[in-house]
Amino acid sequence: MPALFHHLVVESDRYDAVILSPYLFWTTVTGATVVPERTIVMPCLHDEPYARLDVLRPVLRDVARLWFLSEPEHRLAHEITTLPPHEVTGAGVNVPASYDPEGFRERHGLERPFVLFAGRRERGKGWDWLLSAFHFAIRQYRLPFDLVTTGVSPAGAPPDLSGRVHDLGFLDDAEIPDAFAAATAYVQPSTNESFSRTIMESWLAGTPVLAAAGSDVLRWHCDRSGGGLTFADEFELAQCLSFLASAPHEAASLAKAGREYVLANYQWSVVLETMEADVRELTCASS
């Protein structure tokens, strides 16, 4: 990483623009000081204590441009400091050519319907809460679902969930779309999100989303798309799961709306058009 910074110091005149992300990393904090007049930062901002540290404020305030992934992230940045010119660009998401949900279930021995969690199994991403809330839901409401998880760090399922939580570990990229397609729903319990690529992958796979209401970003996506339900506590998560079990056709309608939302807003062609126009504007202003 120091070598990258030194390269930028020596070779910065070769570049029309320098794009750095996310806001919290050393490469962004230091890199943004080299040619701030030609630097674009994609902050991937969360409402967390780090975002309000004085040492990080110049990363948002003193560069040429900012690119935000969602409107709530954009609003949060305005609360923190005065901003340079900026755009809500979103992020590009690849659209798989096909899905194999039945093959995925067979390969991994998944016999019951399941809800999926994909990502870091950490307290900050809501994993511990989800384990507890899922346990409550299947115990109190006798729901038919298992919980399948893929990602890094140990799943740490409690013993009394034996047989109902399946940790598939870190899957190959080719398997990820099939995991989303095979799920009855994708559960996103994290409140620390600036975009949430996984809910986009779920909607593209034709799978509805259950999302934490405590995240302004997740709630914004669900409200705009009509593709997901939000929950504020374990009781509401249980009600969402009960809905999936009792109303599969309505759940499929949610997923269809979500897929249309992603295709309309977050294909690479759409996102890159906004980004490239902003880079051209910056280049013209710098020349």
Taking only the tens of pLDDT, the chain with its 287 residues reads: 789 899 999 999 999 999 999 999 999 999 999 999 999 999 999 888 999 999 999 999 999 999 999 999 999 999 999 999 999 999 999 999 999 999 999 999 999 999 999 988 888 889 999 999 999 998 888 899 999 999 877 777 666 677 899 999 989 999 999 999 999 999 999 998 999 999 999 999 999 999 999 999 999 999 999 999 999 999 999 999 999 999 999 999 999 999 999 999 999 999 999 999 999 999 988 76
Residues 60 and 106 in one domain: no
Residues 239 and 130 in one domain: yes
Residues 66 and 134 in one domain: no
Residues 56 and 147 in one domain: no
Q: Which residues of 244-277 are buried (b: 16+ CB within 10 A; e: fewer)?
A: beeeeeebeebbebbbebbeebbbeeebeeebee
pLDDT on residue 158: 66
Rg (C-alpha) for the chain, rounded Å, is 21
Residues 30 and 115 in one domain: no
pLDDT on residue 119: 86
Using alpha carbons, select from 119, 124, 276 the residue that is nearest to residue 201.
119
Q: How many C-beta neighbours within 10 Å does residue 140 have?
A: 11
pLDDT on residue 180: 98
Residues 88 and 105 in one domain: no
Strands 146-150 and 165-167: parallel
Q: What is the CATH number of the domain that holds 166?
A: 3.40.50.2000
Q: Which domain holds residue 147?
A: 101-262
pLDDT on residue 151: 84
Residues 69 and 110 in one domain: no
Split into its structural domains, the chain has a count of 2
Residues 86 and 120 in one domain: no
Residues 118 and 173 in one domain: yes
Q: How many C-beta neighbours within 10 Å does residue 215 have?
A: 24
Residues 149 and 63 in one domain: no
Cβ neighbourhood burial of 116 (10 Å; 0-12, 13-18, 19+) = buried
Residues 85 and 227 in one domain: no
